[in-house]
Amino acid sequence: MPTVTKQAALEASAPAVWAAVRNFGKLDEWLPPVVGCETDGEGIGALRTLTLGDGAVVVERLDAHDDGARTLTYSMTDAGPMPLVDYVSTIAVSANPDGTSTMTWTGNFGVSGADEAEVVGSIEGLYQSGLDSVAEKLAAEVHPAIKSWPSQSVT
């Protein structure tokens, strides 16, 4: 079962980054491939139906949410056309001693009916686009002319 982890060091504080990503029903506000996000229910067990730019629809369930630890874990209940099985992902935001933060996005999943390396590359690209988008969104909130933080590093 592949695991993908992407991480970004961001100039924004951990509370600012967490505020940008903590809402399970607002993924379309910071993940570029998602053009629509509708939720059914609240809290643990809530479902979100995501519409992607290509029209594909995916359903995910909120499995854990901890504002104190700044973590959110979700699983995919309907992968739509994506060749993913048993997909579980966690987004975590941690504070750094200098007042900046680190956002980590990790996913574990199986692959069915597709080349595993290609699927892993797609998930890596998805996570990267999300990290980049959060960095740009937070930079723009500080000053609209800023497109990205010069010291942002993504691994």
pLDDT at 134 over 50: yes
What does the H/E/C string look like for 121-133?
HHHHHHHHHHHHH
With 0.75 as the threshold, say if the pTM is over it. Answer: yes
The total number of residues written for the chain in this structure: 155
Provide the Cα torsion 149, 20, 25, 112; round to 10°. Answer: 40
Asked if 72 contacts 88 with a C-beta cutoff of 8 angstroms, the reply is no
pLDDT in tens, 30-62: 999 999 999 999 999 999 999 999 999 999 999
Strand partners, 60: 48, 76
Give the Cα separation of 123 and 1 in Å (integer): 13
- Helices 116-142, 14-21: axis angle to 10 degrees equals 120
* Mean pLDDT over the full length of the chain: 91
DSSP letter at 23? -
Nearest of 53, 108, 118 to residue 80 by alpha carbon: 53
Domains assigned to the chain = 3-154 (3.30.530.20)
pLDDT at 113 over 70: yes
Give the Cα separation of 152 and 11 in Å (integer): 7
